[in-house]
Every structure is written in structure tokens, then in C-alpha cells.
A and B are shown apart, each in its own frame.
Chain A
Amino acid sequence: MANLKEIQRKIKSVSNTQKTTRAMKLVSTAKLRRAEELARRSRLYADKLNEVLSKIARGIANSKNGEIESLYFDTEREVKRVAIVFVTADKGLCGAFNHRTIKEVNRLVKEFQSQDIEVDLHAIGKKGIEYFKFNRVELANSETGLSSAPDYEKASKLISKVVDDFANGRVDKVFLIHNGYKNMITQELKTQQLLPVDGSKLGASNDSSQFEIEAYDEEVVLEAVLKKYLEYSIYYSLIDSLAAEHSARMQAMDAATNNAKEMVRNLKLQFNKARQEAITTELVEIISGVESMK
């Protein structure tokens, strides 16, 4: 009889968990819709900014016989130290979302270390920070609260530190890694090289139209746009990552709800079997008792 009670308790606990996971799934679905809308709208700006940057870079390069005398475009610089900025979520319960990013970061770190290149890690998001703290890997910079609520100002402050490092020659390359939103059910890991900017990779348009840059100093314009581009890149990656996080959590919670449902079904089956068994035993006992009295 104790067994029956045990199973009943289990059923109750599992169906309670199921309620929680279902609620979390619904919350994520609602949040995803908002985050997705935000990401969709800012993508337009990001695309245009990319286009503009590549156009002026090309414009300046053309007028100066293919050479841009900017530190930020110097792809031939010797690489001794790289900075990796990566975005993870502040919360867990979203499947392999955070782990995928961390795995990629680890892979890159190993790759660079095998080439004797030092790595500075800049972490955004609690989960990534916790992981590297636990493994006693030093982080150059860490920021929490930004991945659940993207904020342009904070993001630009963060990137300006990295850009300063680059300008001072402390680091020679800057990478940005985040898990981006592809559609409702897939996320895509995106790794991009922020600095130095590879002019040939920016934008796809290859028109050779001539621009008149209306300023005293073209380089100043280029730098202003470049800065905007970097700030926006990181801000956009935060938005993109947030949308991806919600979609990953939605999926994980959906799977958890289904698993719980399956578990309840199995437990019910077990319960029924146990009950039947108890009844049968009781019947046998009664019948054999009656038989023995004859």
C-alpha cells in the first residue's frame, strides 16, 4: 500500500513541475515576440550602417590609391594578443544556448594559445562569467544585466574599452561571439571579427560610385562612422542574443513540458498496475481464507 502512495506523490510532483515549465514556455513565447520585433527593426539600421561604412572606406581608399591610413583597417598588423567579447544569457534553463557560446569561446582560446597568442576575455552575461570563474580562467572584463536588458549606452561604454585597448596596441584583434536568432526554432552561433575591419568583407555592393565627403578631414568622418559601427555591432548582438535566448528557452521548456507529460503517463500506468496487484492479492487472500474454512 505504501508503494501506491509513493507513486501518487510522484505523479503530483511531476505534474507540478509540468505546470511551471508550461508557464515558463508561455512567458518566453511572449518575450520572444517582443525581442524578435526589436531585432527585426534594428537589423535595418545595422545593414545600412554596414553599407555606409564600406562605401566610405572604399571611397577613401580609391582617392588615396587603395590605402587607408587608419589603424582600424590595418589587417597586416602582427597579432600578439586578441580580445574576445562574448555574449551569454543571465539566466539558465534554455537548453544548450549558453554552452554553445562557451564551447566556441574555448575553441578559439585553444586555437590562439596553440599559436602563442594571448587572449583577453570580455564576458557579457552571468552564465558565461560563472563558467569561466568556476574554471579559474581570468576575465579581462565582465558585465551582467546587459544581456537581459540591452542598453545602448552601457554597450558602447563596454566596447569603447576594447577599442581603446586596440588603439593603444594592447590587443591586435577583436572578436565578437554571440548566439544569434535565426528563426523560432533555430539559433545560429555568430563569430565576427570587429577589428581590424577588413574592408573587402564589408557589404556586398561593389559599385564604384564616387562620393564627396563633406568634411575637413575624411579620416575623422571615417572614424566617427566606424565607432558607431562598432557600438552598434555590439548592441545589435545583444538584441539578437536576447531573441535567441528566448527562443532557446521556449524550446527547452516545451521539451520539458512534453517529458513531464510522458512521465506522468508512465507513472499513472505504474499506479494502476500496483493498484490492480493489491486488489488481486486481497482477493486471493479472501478466497483462500474462505476455502480453508470449508
Chain B
Amino acid sequence: MESLKLELITPDGRIFCGDVKEVLLPGEEGEFGVLPQHASLFTLLSGGIIEFTKLDGSIENVVINGGNVTVEDNRVIALVNGAVVLPEHQNGDTAKALEEVQKLLEKVSNNGTILASVQSKLG
């Protein structure tokens, strides 16, 4: 099974580094997915949700407020300005997570739509 190496880096340090099957990123010009063997690419990210599937099939969501991403040699390096990791469906404190997300997205223009999708993810 081929895999991608994903690194999520914020100014406060690395928040995720590991192998994943697939990554969905909120590009400045629309959402796009990255699978193994993707061509080298660089683009800016807008505010939104980075969704990635880990090797064991579990899905994780990270809300970001913009940044940029480099895809090269099966490595995805996302430099983001700020990020909040969304908790898993069952055991997370949804209200608190939402509040954090709201704070993060204060300055992102289309935060309404992002918030709505975060809400739906949190179920």
C-alpha cells in the first residue's frame, strides 16, 4: 500500500507528521485532494479544513486559517498560519472545539461556510 508523508507545521511548531493515504486541502482556488504519486505542486491555502485519512483508515480533520502547501516526492508539507485539530466524533468536547475554531477563523472572510462544515463534521 502506497502512502504519503504529511507534515502540518504552524508557527507554534509541528502539529502532525506521519504517513497518510489521502489528503484533502482547501486551496485558494478550490478544494483538491492529494494521493500518492501526485505531481509536484505548490499552492496557497485559504481558510478551511484539511482532511486526511491515516493508514489505519481513520479520518482526521484540522481547521486552518490559510497558509501554503508543497507537494513533492510523496511528501506533503503544509505551512499554516494557525490550526485547530477537531476531536473525534464520540469523545470530543464539541462546544469547546467550535469556540476555538471560531476564534481561529475570526479574520477569514468566508468563515460562515467553514464553520457550517465544521459543525456538520462534529455531528
Contacts and interface: CB of A to CB of B under 8 A. Distances in A.
B26 to A, nearest CB: 13
Interface stretch (B8-16, B53-61, B87-95): B8-16
A211 B68 CA distance: 14
A106 interface: no
Contacts, number: 65
Interface size class of B (residues with CB under 8 A): 20 to 34
A209 B72 contact: yes
Given A52-B42, A214-B43, A225 B13 contact: no
B42 A49 contact: no
Tell me the interface secondary structure of chain A in the complex: helix
Nearest to A59: B42
A216 B12 CA distance: 31
B41 interface: yes
Given A221-B42, A221-B43, A214 B27 contact: yes
A291 B72 CA distance: 104
Question: Which of A41, A48, A214, A228 has the most C-beta atoms of chain B within 10 angstroms of its own C-beta?
Answer: A214
Closest 8 CB pairs of A and B: A41-B13, A214-B43, A45-B11, A211-B42, A212-B41, A213-B42, A211-B40, A42-B11
Interface of A: 38, 41-42, 44-45, 48-49, 52, 55-56, 59, 152, 209-216, 221, 224-225, 228, 232, 235
24 contacts: A38-B12, A42-B12, A45-B79, A48-B9, A48-B77, A49-B79, A52-B77, A52-B79, A56-B42, A59-B42, A209-B40, A209-B72, A210-B40, A211-B41, A211-B42, A211-B72, A212-B40, A213-B41, A213-B42, A214-B27, A214-B32, A214-B42, A221-B43, A224-B44
